[in-house]
Amino acid sequence: MNVVLAHLNAYVAVFLMVTGLFTVVNRGNLIKKLVGLSIFQTSVYLLYLSPGKIIGGTAPIIADRYEIYSNPLPHVLILTAIVVGVATLALGLALVVRIQEAYGSIEEDDVHRQSAPGEARQGGANGGEAP
């Protein structure tokens, strides 16, 4: 097995992670940011699950015919992470909905422009901590 193939999963995980990061940093749309965050999250799934696979192994459900099983521990960690990921994604989406209702926009720039004067005033009074 050549070098690239031996680390392909890690490379792709890095690529997906950076893609997600780029989306979060660059895009102003809040829903797009959450999508980027989801991609980032899936790259972590990949990063955990890939080392768990053993060549010649099989899924960690015991049967008489098999000797080698892949590592079950990453599976346990990621299984719960996926469902928790949905719950947190829903929380983020709920925040987006409230932002849309409060500012009439889900573009980061619009929200900043509308909230900037008030924030500056409070920042001066309260030492930078918005209530």
What is the spatial distance between Cα 112 and Cα 114, in angstroms, rounded to a whole number? 5
x-or-dash pattern for other proteins, window 26-55, by CB under 8 A?
Answer: xxxx-xx--xx-xx--x--xx--xxxxxxx
Q: Is 112 in the site for other proteins (CB under 8 A)?
A: no
Structure-block tokens of residue 33: 């940011």
> Per residue in 50-61, is it b (16+ CB within 10 Å) or e — as a string?
eebeeeeeeeee
Q: How many residues bind other proteins (CB under 8 A)?
A: 84
Output the furthest CA–CA distance in the chain (Å, rounded).
71
Q: Is 93 in the site for other proteins (CB under 8 A)?
A: yes
Measured in Å, how far apart are the chain's first and last C-alpha atoms?
Answer: 57
Q: Is 111 in the site for other proteins (CB under 8 A)?
A: no
What is the spatial distance between Cα 30 and Cα 97, in angstroms, rounded to a whole number? 10
Footprint of other proteins on 54-73 (CB under 8 A): 54-63, 68-73
Q: Is 96 in the site for other proteins (CB under 8 A)?
A: yes
Q: Is 130 in the site for other proteins (CB under 8 A)?
A: no
Q: Is 120 in the site for other proteins (CB under 8 A)?
A: no
**Interface with other proteins (CB under 8 A), residue from 14, 37, 44, 114:** 14
Q: Is 116 in the site for other proteins (CB under 8 A)?
A: no
Residue 66 or residue 121: which is nearer to other proteins going by CB? 66
CA 94 and chain centroid, separation: 17
